[in-house]
Amino acid sequence: MLTQLQLDGNGPLHAQLTRALKQALATGQLRQGSRLPPTRFMSQQMGVSRNTVLAAYEQLRIEGYIDGRVGSGSYVTLPARPAPAPVETPPLPPQTRFAARARQVHDQDNLPGKRVPGVRFSFQYGAPYTHPAVTTAWSRELGHAALYTSPGYPWAQGLPELRQAICEYVLRRGVEARPEDVVIVAGTQQAVSLCARVLFDPGDPVAIEEPQYYAARVILQAYGAQLQPVPVDDQGLIVDALPATAPRVIYTTPSHQFPQGGTLPPERRAALLDYAARNSTWIIEDDYDGEIRYDARSLPSLKSQDEHGRVIYVGTFSKTLFPSLRLGYLVVPRGLRRDFISAKWMEDFGASAIDQAALAGFITSGACDRHLRRSLVALRERRDALLNGLHRMNEGRLSFIDTQAGMHIPVWLNHRDREQGHQFVDRARRMGLGLYSIAPYYLDPPDRAGLILGYAGLPVGDIEQALDVLRQCLDAEYGLRRH
Ligand SMILES: Cc1ncc(COP(=O)(O)O)c(C=O)c1O
């Protein structure tokens, strides 16, 4: 009997399960000749799909750890081997100031939002909504792209057909771009990193929303930005609170403030653009989920009103498609175009041409719009299930608002401090539920217990079961409910 099989949270689930089983083999929990649990049982036990278990077993079979007898299951064929001890190499002193800053701000072993291992359900922000139809359409485009894409080095700026397709795609956000204004990048991550190279020097002041997108903050810090946190309210960035001495750059998420959820109203947008124009400040507009709105209130992007050419517009396919794609784009002011292309060329000579060609086909064939429409229906159902469940169990214990956008909801535990919030997350984990604290998304976290609940990756049935666990955690925390 297998006990304590733990998924480590790294990479695809089948790979995690394969590693966990190898570990069980190495520690002798699974001995030569013993039978692996039936796939159905294993899938229930681990809270993963049966296909995931089949894929893990198949991998072990390929590697010669098990063999299968039709109808009678899979048996361990290899004698248990001790897992090689990890080699610990003490780090050298940082060799550059960049490396020193990166060590300070980037804790590789403790990234917020990383999948919590060993839980049945997880409100993990960043897990995408997937649908079999998108996999089919995407693999068709990839197959076509593999046949017809030139095997030479790609354009550093991005494939012309993808840049053209992006120009049409961003019209829905009110952005009027020409293909020469677009730079294809490896997601928002790389977009922010290129902005850091092109727009400021180490030591320069850079304003950032407080709270903010963790990854953007870390990159800006690693490049030496002197961060100036600017508070947000339920409408997003408080433009009046921008520093009197203007920063070189402002990083902002005006359409859906991350993680609080506000939508910047028109008068603040105008004031922000005016501030940037008066002070020659650059604005990085991270429009990460601008396509995903559930009401009619959607405002066009800030970039669409950028008369003075101060906005660097950043879009990504991590939310609308999937984050493993690593494709996003910048729409840059004309005068900066050459700098961004050089910075991109120096990073990697350009994104994978096959992926770019596939994405261009995916957009122009209409598959992308079909997927978006389908996603919005499914995401709305998931969001409704989550919000209704939160309302039902609330009884004054939680504070949250429906921001009518995106794929997450920030939730506060009333009358609980930050430390109690961490304990709550730990308790949920012990009860099989992955929760995520909001604290890492602040430079200076408030002494309140807050969570960020991502729901895109959870089907409605799973959300309901996860909510049941959440309710039990709340009952344990606040005392039993009155009915
Ligand atoms: C605010 C924000 N920006 C951007 C992204 C996406 O980043 P990337 O395009 O690098 O995957 C996310 C995803 O979590 C996000 O929350």
The DSSP-derived string for 420-463 is HHHHHHHHHHHTTEE--BSGGG-SS--SSEEEEEE-TTS-HHHH
Q: Indicate if 267 and 414 belong to the same structural domain.
A: no
> Is the pLDDT confidence value at 257 over 70?
yes
Distance CA 367, CA 371 (A): 6
Q: Is 188 in the pocket of ligand 1 (CB under 6 A)?
A: yes
For residue 318, report the distance from its CA to the centre of ligand 1, in Å: 7
- Which atom of ligand 1 is nearest the CA belonging to 212? 1
Q: Is residue 29 part of a domain?
A: yes
Residue nearest to atom 16 of ligand 1 (CA): 213
**Ligand 1 pocket mutation, candidates 212, 213, 214, 284, criterion most atoms within 8 A of CB:** 213
Q: Indicate if 59 and 125 belong to the same structural domain.
A: no
Average pLDDT over residues 369-380: 95
For residue 1, report the distance from its CA to the centre of ligand 1, in Å: 41
Q: At how many degrees (to 10) do helices 353-364 and 367-394 cross?
A: 80
Q: Is 350 in the pocket of ligand 1 (CB under 6 A)?
A: no
For residue 430, report the distance from its CA to the centre of ligand 1, in Å: 29
Q: Indicate if 236 and 136 belong to the same structural domain.
A: yes
Residue nearest to atom 13 of ligand 1 (CA): 126
In angstroms, the Cα distances linking 73 to 1, 42, 44, 192, 306 are: 14, 12, 17, 50, 63
Residue 358: band (very low, low, confident or very high) from pLDDT cuts 50, 70, 90: very high
The two three-digit tokens of residue 231, written as one number: 């508070």
Of the two residues 64 and 248, the one the predictor is more confident about is 248
pLDDT at 278: 97
Given 335, 365, 395, which residue is the final one in a domain? 365
Distance CA 191, CA 315 (A): 9
Coil vs helix vs strand at 363: helix
Q: Indicate if 287 and 402 belong to the same structural domain.
A: no
Q: Is 288 in the pocket of ligand 1 (CB under 6 A)?
A: yes
Residues present in the chain in total: 483
pLDDT at 116: 82
Average pLDDT over residues 43-55: 85
Average pLDDT over residues 306-310: 97
Average pLDDT, the chain: 92
Distance CA 472, CA 428 (A): 9
CA dihedral (35, 39, 41, 45) in degrees, to 10, reads 100
Q: Indicate if 357 and 230 belong to the same structural domain.
A: yes
Q: Is residue 6 part of a domain?
A: no
Q: Is 126 in the pocket of ligand 1 (CB under 6 A)?
A: yes
The residue among 314, 307, 308, 301 whose CA lies nearest residue 340 is: 314
Find out whether 318 and 325 touch, Cβ atoms under 8 Å: yes
For residue 188, report the distance from its CA to the centre of ligand 1, in Å: 6
Coil vs helix vs strand at 177: coil
Q: Is 187 in the pocket of ligand 1 (CB under 6 A)?
A: yes
Residue nearest to atom 4 of ligand 1 (CA): 288
CB atoms within 10 A of CB 93: 7
For residue 114, report the distance from its CA to the centre of ligand 1, in Å: 14
- pLDDT tens track for 60-117: 887 778 887 656 788 888 765 666 777 888 889 999 999 999 999 999 888 988 888 8
Domain count for the chain: 3
Q: Is 212 in the pocket of ligand 1 (CB under 6 A)?
A: no
Q: Indicate if 46 and 163 belong to the same structural domain.
A: no
Average pLDDT over residues 324-345: 97
% residues pLDDT > 90 (the chain): 75
> Is the pLDDT confidence value at 457 over 90?
yes
For residue 39, report the distance from its CA to the centre of ligand 1, in Å: 35
How much helix, strand and coil, in percent to the nearest 5, is found in the chain?
A: 45, 15, 40
Cβ-Cβ contacts under 8 Å for 154 (sequence gap 6 or more): 349, 350, 351, 352, 353, 356
- Which atom of ligand 1 is nearest the CA belonging to 113? 14
Q: What are phi and psi of 109, to 5 degrees?
A: -90, -5
**Ligand 1 pocket mutation, candidates 115, 208, 258, 320, criterion most atoms within 8 A of CB:** 258
Q: Is 316 in the pocket of ligand 1 (CB under 6 A)?
A: yes
Find the domain containing 150 and state its range: 132-365
Q: Is residue 279 part of a domain?
A: yes
The two beta strands, 328-331 and 182-185, are antiparallel
Q: Is 193 in the pocket of ligand 1 (CB under 6 A)?
A: no
pLDDT at 3: 63
CATH number at 391 reads: 3.90.1150.10
Q: Is 228 in the pocket of ligand 1 (CB under 6 A)?
A: no
Average pLDDT over residues 120-139: 91
CATH number at 338 reads: 3.40.640.10
pLDDT at 289: 94
Residue 355: band (very low, low, confident or very high) from pLDDT cuts 50, 70, 90: very high
In angstroms, the Cα distances linking 164 to 104, 179, 187, 279, 437 are: 40, 5, 18, 32, 40
pLDDT at 483: 46
Q: Indicate if 376 and 440 belong to the same structural domain.
A: yes
> Is the pLDDT confidence value at 9 over 90?
no
**Ligand 1 pocket mutation, candidates 114, 210, 291, 316, criterion most atoms within 8 A of CB:** 316
> Is the pLDDT confidence value at 135 over 70?
yes
Given 344, 365, 386, which residue is the final one in a domain? 365
Q: Indicate if 199 and 335 belong to the same structural domain.
A: yes
Q: Indicate if 307 and 379 belong to the same structural domain.
A: no
Residue nearest to atom 5 of ligand 1 (CA): 288
Q: Is residue 17 part of a domain?
A: yes
For residue 314, report the distance from its CA to the centre of ligand 1, in Å: 10
> Is the pLDDT confidence value at 1 over 60?
no
Q: Is 323 in the pocket of ligand 1 (CB under 6 A)?
A: yes
Distance CA 371, CA 369 (A): 5
Residue 39: band (very low, low, confident or very high) from pLDDT cuts 50, 70, 90: confident
Q: Is residue 307 part of a domain?
A: yes
For residue 278, report the distance from its CA to the centre of ligand 1, in Å: 29
Q: Is residue 2 part of a domain?
A: no
For residue 414, report the distance from its CA to the centre of ligand 1, in Å: 28
Q: How far is Cα of residue 346 from the mean position of the Cα atoms in its chain?
A: 25
For residue 228, report the distance from its CA to the centre of ligand 1, in Å: 21
> Is the pLDDT confidence value at 12 over 80?
no
Q: Indicate if 377 and 361 belong to the same structural domain.
A: no
Coil vs helix vs strand at 329: strand
Coil vs helix vs strand at 74: strand
Q: Is residue 261 part of a domain?
A: yes
The residue among 297, 321, 291, 286 whose CA lies nearest residue 212 is: 286
Lowest mean pLDDT among 174-178, 283-287, 291-295: 291-295
Average pLDDT over residues 296-318: 94
Q: Is residue 95 part of a domain?
A: no
Q: Indicate if 359 and 434 belong to the same structural domain.
A: no
For residue 336, report the distance from its CA to the centre of ligand 1, in Å: 23
Residue nearest to atom 12 of ligand 1 (CA): 288
Distance CA 313, CA 191 (A): 9
CB atoms within 10 A of CB 147: 9
Find out whether 47 and 88 touch, Cβ atoms under 8 Å: no
CB atoms within 10 A of CB 482: 5
Q: Indicate if 299 and 376 belong to the same structural domain.
A: no
% residues pLDDT > 70 (the chain): 96
For residue 187, report the distance from its CA to the centre of ligand 1, in Å: 8
Given 314, 349, 365, which residue is the final one in a domain? 365
Lowest mean pLDDT among 196-200, 280-284, 296-300: 296-300
Of the two residues 427 and 5, the one the predictor is more confident about is 427
CATH number at 27 reads: 1.10.10.10
Q: At how many degrees (to 10) do helices 160-169 and 353-364 cross?
A: 40
